[in-house]
């Protein structure tokens, strides 16, 4: 899912813990899934931001001639206004848009069947 099109809230939202544990049956497992997805989103956001800022980077490394580029400031503000990666990941998880699997559980279920 594209983080730019996310409808996740920009403020902290209180969730019912039982809703988080509903898909996995374990609250901590759900939180690990959300945290890993948040790391993925955060890395993607950082990569996109760095690409856009490189377009406006000047080749002068003179400390005395440092000035603020208006485009860079606008891009940075845009990314600051986006929902945080953790909020996007939690929203995706609660909507069922995150694919996850637990190989240990699958292996245990397979052994129990045999």
Count CB-CB contacts under 10 A for residue 79: 14
Q: Taking the alpha carbons of 67, 71, 72, 78 in that order, is the dihedral positive or negative?
A: positive
38, 69, 86, 88 from 99: Cα distances, Å = 13, 40, 16, 15
**CB under 8 Å to 19, separation ≥6 — which residues?**
94
Mean pLDDT, residues 67-94 taken together: 86
pLDDT digits (tens, 9 = 90+) for 16-44: 889 889 989 899 999 999 999 999 999 99
Percent of the chain scoring above 90 in pLDDT: 29
pLDDT digits (tens, 9 = 90+) for 85-97: 999 999 999 999 9
User: How high is the pLDDT of residue 5?
Assistant: 72
> 23 with 64: CB under 8 angstroms?
no
This prediction has a pTM of: 0.78
Is pLDDT at 6 greater than 90 in this prediction? no
Q: Residue 93 is encoded by which pair of tokens? A: 């998880």
pLDDT digits (tens, 9 = 90+) for 41-68: 999 999 999 998 888 776 665 555 456 6
């Amino acid at each position: 899912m594209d983080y730019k099109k996310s409808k996740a809230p920009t403020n902290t939202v209180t969730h019912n813990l039982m809703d988080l544990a509903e898909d996995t049956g374990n609250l901590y497992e759900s939180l690990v899934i959300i945290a890993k997805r948040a790391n993925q989103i955060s890395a993607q956001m950082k990569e996109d931001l760095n690409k856009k800022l490189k377009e406006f980077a000047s080749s002068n490394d003179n400390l005395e001639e440092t000035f603020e580029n208006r485009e860079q400031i606008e891009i940075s503000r845009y990314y600051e206004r986006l929902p945080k990666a953790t909020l996007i990941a939690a929203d995706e998880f609660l909507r069922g848009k995150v694919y996850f699997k637990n190989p240990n559980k699958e292996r245990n279920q397979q052994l129990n069947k045999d």
